């Protein structure tokens, strides 16, 4: 496998061209500083995930995330990303009601928040929606397997592709999404052998999360990668830093430093400066 290194802005055709040559990298970001750091570090795709609902807002799931939330976070990320491709998630109920609604909401992310592509959840049933958004000139990433926006239908977060029926549905879905024009497909918590089969079958890159090392690329929630997760850390995340510890240590240091220093106040009085400490002791000096 040859190694391609990126010099210029990442484009959709370039991501597609990686298939079979080099694994592609994607991470989430929800704010400006994170986007700047990821961009400078060289990640190829920055996803403004609707995981913003759980990761940033502390919600139990992604269902309450709104168009306004996503537009605001996406704009912060596109301000920070100069080179990476910025993809944003269409939030729950922004694309399920009608194809027209989906195209018009996808368009808002491009016009108002300067994203370069959108991602939406769902299998073959979403193919007409993907086709219409792509026809409007907006690149789309599909997302199958564990689709968190369907949590109330699925009942829990689990691996997908264990039964034969589920395997057939997911393989057919990947084919349908790719035929509809999706330029990549996220496989979330898909059984590794099925992820390998789908990756071999479809002409576009598969981007795995909890789907083994068989996909054409990987995506992770940035907080899971850098040790900033609150609560359960998914097994597949394998954090490469422990930023929560450094963060808390810095706050402890700040508290100690602030408490240790004797408080003083400088109050000018008739050409003299009065320095008073909290204990009420006063010293006067010429100002
Ligand atoms: O919202 C998100 O962060 C995602 C990724 C985990 C794939 O959809």
Q: Cα(209) to centroid of ligand 1, in Å?
A: 9
Report yes or no on 7 lying in a domain.
Answer: no
| Residues 153 and 258 grouped into a single domain | no
Mean pLDDT, the chain, rounded, equals: 93
Instruction: Let me know if 188 is a catalytic residue.
Output: yes
Dihedral (C-alpha) 187, 192, 193, 197: value to the nearest 10 degrees? 30
Judged on CB neighbours under 10 Å (0-12, 13-18, 19+), 278 is exposed
What is the number of residues in the chain? 287
Model confidence over 112-137: pLDDT tens digits? Answer: 999 999 999 999 999 999 999 999 99
| Residues 114 and 235 grouped into a single domain | yes
pTM above 0.85, yes or no: yes
**Ligand 1: residue whose CA is nearest its atom 2:** 49
| Residues 177 and 262 grouped into a single domain | no
241 CB-side CA count, 13 A: 9
Determine the 3-state secondary structure of 123 from DSSP: coil
| Residues 237 and 259 grouped into a single domain | no
> Of the residues 188, 191, 197, 218, which is catalytic?
188
| Residues 158 and 280 grouped into a single domain | no
| Residues 264 and 200 grouped into a single domain | no
The sheet that has 272-277: what strands, in order across it? 264-269, 272-277, 282-286
Model confidence over 82-102: pLDDT tens digits? Answer: 999 999 999 999 999 999 999
Report yes or no on 142 lying in a domain.
Answer: yes
- Residue-number span of the structural domain to which 275 is assigned: 246-284
CATH of the domain at 145: 3.20.20.60
């Amino acid at each position: 496998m040859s190694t391609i290194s990126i010099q210029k802005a990442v484009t959709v055709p370039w991501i597609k061209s990686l298939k079979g040559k080099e694994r592609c990298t994607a991470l989430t970001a929800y704010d400006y500083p994170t986007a700047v750091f990821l961009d400078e570090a060289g990640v190829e795709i920055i996803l403004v995930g609707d995981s913003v609902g759980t990761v940033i807002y502390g919600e139990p799931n992604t269902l309450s995330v709104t168009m306004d939330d996503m537009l605001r976070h996406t704009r912060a990320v596109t301000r920070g990303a100069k080179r990476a491709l910025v993809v944003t998630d269409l939030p729950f109920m922004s694309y399920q009601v009608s194809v027209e609604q989906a195209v018009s909401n996808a368009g808002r992310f491009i016009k108002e928040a300067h994203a370069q592509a959108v991602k939406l959840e769902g299998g073959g049933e979403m193919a007409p929606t993907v086709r219409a958004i792509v026809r409007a000139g907006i690149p789309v990433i599909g997302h199958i397997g564990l689709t968190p926006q369907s949590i109330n239908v699925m009942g829990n977060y689990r691996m997908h592709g264990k039964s034969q029926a589920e395997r057939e549905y997911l393989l057919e879905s990947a084919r349908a999404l790719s035929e509809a024009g999706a330029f990549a497909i996220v496989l979330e918590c898909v059984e590794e052998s099925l992820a390998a089969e789908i990756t071999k079958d479809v002409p576009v890159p598969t981007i795995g999360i909890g789907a083994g090392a068989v996909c054409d690329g990987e995506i992770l929630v940035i907080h899971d990668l850098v040790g900033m997760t609150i609560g359960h850390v998914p097994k597949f995340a394998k954090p490469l830093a422990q930023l929560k510890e450094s963060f808390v240590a810095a706050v402890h240091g700040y508290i100690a430093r602030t408490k240790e220093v004797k408080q003083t106040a400088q109050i000018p009085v008739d050409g003299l400066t009065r320095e008073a400490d909290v204990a009420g002791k006063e010293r006067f000096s010429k100002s």
